[in-house]
Structure 1
Amino acid sequence: MAINDEKARWSYLAQEARTGRLYLDSAVAAECRDVCNRQIDLYTKLRENLKQIVNVTGLGNFSCADELAKMLGAKAIGGDGDVDAALKEHLEVITLIRDTIQVSVEMYEAQDAANAAEQDKLLD
């Protein structure tokens, strides 16, 4: 599935969560949110590491080696279909997923607190 389709899907689900039409089990949602956070951290670190491999060296003293080094560096950052852009797009989707899950967790916790307060009123 295309990344734009995933963005649209998770934007829709985020709106559903904000309006209270999407609920996830709080334990499962919390675990998924934590996994998303770990993935976001990993992709962020990978994007930082890409900066170290933009300037490829050690391919020899040939003009074709220089061109190959430029091409490989562009595949890391800035070129057509570069890894950095792909990671950035995936980060956007994972952030949408995480934020959607977080809304669901917060709504679940708020509902749970409201239910507990109502139960306390009944018991008093």
Structure 2
Amino acid sequence: MSEGDRSQWQRFAEQARAGGLYLDDEAAALQALGACNRRIDDLQGLADLAKRCQNVSGFGDFDMADVLAGKFRKQAIGTDSSIDAIIAKDVEVVKDMRDIMAISIARLRGQDYTNSAAITAIIDSVGE
């Protein structure tokens, strides 16, 4: 997801926390919250794979092989455009989406949603 998407979902989450944005269908919000939890789990699995990709080898024992291994390693982890950084940004976007759904559920149930503990409790109660 692009940085513009990230800031847009951040703004949506801030609007939800301020009470200005919510989904008015509890069943839909529950389904979306569950989908967000599954997506976060999937992305964390990809992040684990990306970490394993930092161990690049098998190109031979000459200088050019070391340069090539370094280029592949940089694509996996350690830079702003490496796959681990991209996955981390995506996780943050999905967390904002999930928070919006949890806040929506709380509002519809008449629960407090003004602190992170309340939001976490709602997210945990959905499970999956």
**In the alignment, is residue 12 of structure 1 matched against residue 11 of structure 2?**
yes
TM-score, with normalisation over the residues of structure 2?
Answer: 0.76
TM-score, with normalisation over the residues of structure 1?
Answer: 0.78
Q: Which consecutive unaligned segments of at least 5 residues does structure 1 have? A: 112-124
Which digits, 9 at most, give the CA deviation of each residue in 1:6-65, with x for residues without a partner? 233222222332333323111111111111111111111211222211021111222111
More helix by share: 1
How many Å separate the matches in 1 of 2:7 and 2:51?
30
**In the alignment, is residue 30 of structure 1 matched against residue 17 of structure 2?**
no
How many Å separate the matches in 2 of 1:50 and 1:27?
35
Partner secondary structure for residue 9 of structure 2: helix
Which residue is equivalent to 2:109? 109
Say how many residue pairs are matched.
110
How many Å separate the matches in 2 of 1:78 and 1:19?
35
Which residue is equivalent to 2:115? none
Which residue is equivalent to 1:21? 20
Deviation at 1:82, TM superposition (A): 0.5
Change in 2 beyond 3 A, CA 1:74/1:61: same
Query: What is the root-mean-square deviation in Å for CA atoms of aligned residues?
Result: 1.8
**In the alignment, is residue 64 of structure 1 matched against residue 39 of structure 2?**
no
Deviation at 1:104, TM superposition (A): 0.7
How many Å separate the matches in 2 of 1:80 and 1:34?
29
Which residue is equivalent to 1:47? 47
Partner secondary structure for residue 110 of structure 2: helix
How many Å separate the matches in 1 of 2:31 and 2:80?
36
Deviation at 1:98, TM superposition (A): 0.6
Deviation at 1:80, TM superposition (A): 5.3
How many Å separate the matches in 2 of 1:81 and 1:15?
26
